[in-house]
Structure 1
Amino acid sequence: MENISTRLLAKSQEAFIMAIELYNKPTIKYRVEGFSLFICNAWELMLKAHMINIFGPESIYYRDNPNRTLTLENCIQKVFTNNKDPLRLNLEKIIELRNTSTHFITEEYEMVYVPLFQSCVFNFNEKMMAFHSVDMTTLIPQNFLTLSTSMKALDESEIIAKYPEEIATKLLDAKNNLDELSEGNNAKFAIRIEHFHYITKKKEAATSFVGIDNLADAKVKIVKELKDPNNTHKYPAKLCINTIRERLSKENIVLIYNGNEVKFNSFHFQNFVKHFDLKGNEKFCYIHKQFSQPQYSYSQQAVDFIFDELKKDPKNILNNIKK
């Protein structure tokens, strides 16, 4: 039965690559629908291969109909039993899109769903490694796992004017629902895209225009340089820790703390942050001040820096930094 699992896994990898390649092709307008179809297929095949390996070949079939295999929804429920898990919520929302996109799809769905798509890609890569010891970055370079997307903000008045009421309502309801879920979940559910504005005297360099009124209720902060933290600092702390763990595992680096072998965890990460003052270095950390409590995200340089330091002295560095 190993051959069935292996074949499912091979098809899963191919479906994942198809999803990425289709989405990142600028000439294809069907990419939101196409991505949702192929990424769901990739997850279904990968989870069924995992279930065969763990529970046996009969686990992917309905008990009352052994000729029919389980749906993706069934597989998710069996493997990810916590219905509050952000990864599971992410997949369920993408399945909803797949099931309804043929009726209501518009080009603006990309702006609504791409934060979920990006998380879904990273989640798939992580679970492929955890369940099957397959690193998708050996098939697709790491930088190509970042999806290309329009950075235009969704304009509600434009949506209402452009589409019939039924489609406009469904699109805006989906946006509001996903925004609310994103607030309450981590990067496993959605990697959010924030929109920022800046003032320039070069009109030809602007992508959109605004008027300034000192009496307006809405306030903006004038900045000297535009940076998108979703590109420069896209790692929440948990994703930093998981990424560093994966790299340590790949290179068979064993960490020692208090004389014992340990996994790199949040405690060690926070010690690094404090010791090297990563939060005080814009190259390593971005502080999101728009929330009631500041939130922090980290750059690829931060991940590389911590990994390199661990690699230099894995037997002593965790103890030394704690001291």
Structure 2
Amino acid sequence: MKISKSLSSLFLFLQEKERNGIPFSLEGVLSATGWKETTFRTYWIKGQLADFISETPDGLYDASNCQSISEVEFSKLLSQSKNRRGLGHNCRSKLAKALLAKSKDNMFLALELYNRPSLENKMDAFSMCFCTAWEQFLKAILIERDGEKSIFRAKAKGFKETISLRECLERYYPANSKIRKNIEQVAYFRDQAVHLLMPEIQGIISRVFQSGVLNYTSQFESFTEVSFINNSHTGMISLVGEFKSPPISIMKSTHGEIANDILELATSIEHEVNLSNDIEFAIPLNVKLIFATDDAQGNTIALTRAEDGIEALRQALIIEKPTDREKTHPFLQKDAINEINSRLQGRYDEEILKKHLSHDKKTGIPLINKNCFDAIAYKNSWKSWKSWKSWKSWKSWKSCNNKFHYKNANPELHYYSIELVEELIKKIMEHCDYLKNAKRSYNLARKQKNQ
């Protein structure tokens, strides 16, 4: 491989500075390489020098990681895609960079051990590596936020002693954070319940582990601006396990009286999962991912993969179970209008209604009519009018089903819910000009459509 003179000179320059432990200035780099300052800044801003150069608090630079690689390896790393960023490129501290690298390695090890079929004590190994990875990652964050001294105990004797994982969590995450709760749960497994992590309860425990990995991936990439795992290995983020627990009699024959404690742990975790019902603590027990693009009513079902992270998985979860349309959306439009008028007249005096509603031309009675109904539905986007760019694009509009509106495909009929009836009454009665303003906007939009 042909190596440019500037990269070769930079490599030798950094090797010498690292070997002698001498900080250097930007001018020293430019003199050694013949670069312009803009060239260095380009490499620096994009993070391509992060593996080898760190900035010091006094505005100088330190060299690192140049003693154990060859000139060819160095050149390859700097000659790769311009999108390449070294891990820790946005960190000032060399210790923070080192902790990030160790954290990433430990989380990889946790995943590798858990996904190894022949390993029976995978939950023990995962818990230890998982907690170590989080502790190192959080210490790197605290160093960048509060300085290197922040992670060391003030009055430690002998070797410097660092703070614990739980102290890191207290300093970084609020008490109600589900991410913190997830890590504390795995730390509890590691410290107090490792003897109970038997294969029979892997199903429920793995849900906590899975959320922890997704949390780590999301937090790691957010802080480092670097992907945690290569696309070719993303399947490892999905932890594999058997989700059925054997009968208590079989467990007792295998583990003796401690089987009761094992089951008690599994029961308590299941209770916490149900109580929390948050994917940042544990994958909910009722999650189902269905490989389909539409359900029976034509609604799009969002799919995701575990490696896409917490937010993507949140979007894929269908939390509400299917319900009967006849119970939730019983009214055709004319029936909904009749119901609204009936409730209005039963609750309010006619003089009050006259201030809020239109008058029927024949009877003079204040009523909601079809135009009123359509105007308020348009104003509140109860039939997805917000998705229109303009009324002229009405042919591309597609009705959607929601808690207020339901479209039956064949025959095409629009149904409305009891919630819509109450919401519409609330809207028009909260301000005397609400209906008038809604109708003005709606009728203007209709007029523009027909032009």
Q: Report the TM-score when normalising by structure 2.
A: 0.43
CA gap of 1:24–1:276, structure 2 versus 1, over 3 A, is farther
Cα drift, residue 41 of structure 1: 0.7
Task: Quote the Cα distance in structure 2 between the aligned partners of 1:275 and 1:50.
Answer: 47
The reply to whether residue 56 of structure 1 matches residue 180 of structure 2 is no
The reply to whether residue 239 of structure 1 matches residue 311 of structure 2 is yes
Task: Quote the Cα distance in structure 1 between the aligned partners of 2:216 and 2:166.
Answer: 16
Kept in 2, the 8 Å contact 1:23–1:32? The answer is yes
Partner of 2:163: 70
User: Residues 28-56 of structure 1, C-alpha deviation per residue, up to 9 Å, x if partnerless?
Assistant: 11211111111111101100000000111
Q: Which of 205, 210, 213 is the equivalent residue of 1:121?
A: 213
Q: Larger RCO: Structure 1 or Structure 2 (Cα < 8 Å, ≥ 6 residues apart)?
A: 1
Partner of 1:250: none
Q: Which of 186, 207, 211 is the equivalent residue of 1:94?
A: 186
The reply to whether residue 170 of structure 1 matches residue 261 of structure 2 is yes
Q: Please, what is the CA RMSD of the aligned residues?
A: 3.6
Partner of 1:14: 105
Structure 1 residue ranges without an equivalent (≥5)? 197-228, 245-270, 281-323
The reply to whether residue 38 of structure 1 matches residue 110 of structure 2 is no
Task: Quote the Cα distance in structure 2 between the aligned partners of 1:146 and 1:42.
Answer: 18
The reply to whether residue 191 of structure 1 matches residue 277 of structure 2 is no
Task: Quote the Cα distance in structure 2 between the aligned partners of 1:277 and 1:141.
Answer: 38
Q: Report the TM-score when normalising by structure 1.
A: 0.59
Kept in 1, the 8 Å contact 2:237–2:306? The answer is no
CA gap of 1:21–1:277, structure 2 versus 1, over 3 A, is farther
- Partner AA of 2:168 in structure 1: C
Partner of 1:3: 94
Task: Quote the Cα distance in structure 1 between the aligned partners of 2:314 and 2:168.
Answer: 24
Task: Quote the Cα distance in structure 2 between the aligned partners of 1:240 and 1:277.
Answer: 22
The reply to whether residue 132 of structure 1 matches residue 224 of structure 2 is yes
Kept in 2, the 8 Å contact 1:111–1:154? The answer is no
CA gap of 1:19–1:233, structure 2 versus 1, over 3 A, is closer
Map 1:279-290 onto structure 2 (within 5 A).
none
User: Residues 136-183 of structure 1, C-alpha deviation per residue, up to 9 Å, x if partnerless?
Assistant: 133763322101111323534433443222x22221221121111111
Task: Quote the Cα distance in structure 2 between the aligned partners of 1:26 and 1:174.
Answer: 24
CA gap of 1:232–1:131, structure 2 versus 1, over 3 A, is closer
- Between stretches 117-126 and 133-142, larger displacement belongs to 133-142
The reply to whether residue 152 of structure 1 matches residue 224 of structure 2 is no
- Classify the secondary structure of the residue corresponding to 1:52: helix
Structure 2 residue ranges without an equivalent (≥5)? 1-91, 289-300, 317-385, 388-397, 407-451
Q: Percent identity?
A: 24
Cα drift, residue 238 of structure 1: 7.2
CA gap of 1:124–1:232, structure 2 versus 1, over 3 A, is closer
- Partner AA of 1:191 in structure 2: I
Task: Quote the Cα distance in structure 1 between the aligned partners of 2:144 and 2:399.
Answer: 43
- Classify the secondary structure of the residue corresponding to 1:65: coil
Cα drift, residue 14 of structure 1: 0.4
CA gap of 1:99–1:124, structure 2 versus 1, over 3 A, is same
Task: Quote the Cα distance in structure 1 between the aligned partners of 2:144 and 2:154.
Answer: 18
- Partner AA of 1:181 in structure 2: E
Kept in 2, the 8 Å contact 1:116–1:190? The answer is yes
User: Residues 217-253 of structure 1, C-alpha deviation per residue, up to 9 Å, x if partnerless?
Assistant: xxxxxxxxxxxx9x98879x97238789xxxxxxxxx
Q: Which of 197, 204, 222 is the equivalent residue of 1:112?
A: 204
Map 1:297-316 onto structure 2 (within 5 A).
none
Task: Quote the Cα distance in structure 1 between the aligned partners of 2:97 and 2:251.
Answer: 45
- Classify the secondary structure of the residue corresponding to 1:147: coil
Kept in 1, the 8 Å contact 2:102–2:133? The answer is yes
CA gap of 1:11–1:233, structure 2 versus 1, over 3 A, is closer
Task: Quote the Cα distance in structure 2 between the aligned partners of 1:103 and 1:239.
Answer: 34
Task: Quote the Cα distance in structure 1 between the aligned partners of 2:243 and 2:314.
Answer: 28
Kept in 2, the 8 Å contact 1:19–1:34? The answer is yes
CA gap of 1:56–1:243, structure 2 versus 1, over 3 A, is farther
User: Residues 182-204 of structure 1, C-alpha deviation per residue, up to 9 Å, x if partnerless?
Assistant: 112200011145599xxxxxxxx
Task: Quote the Cα distance in structure 1 between the aligned partners of 2:305 and 2:313.
Answer: 14
- Classify the secondary structure of the residue corresponding to 2:161: strand
Partner of 2:118: 27
Number of residues of Structure 1 aligned to a counterpart in Structure 2: 218
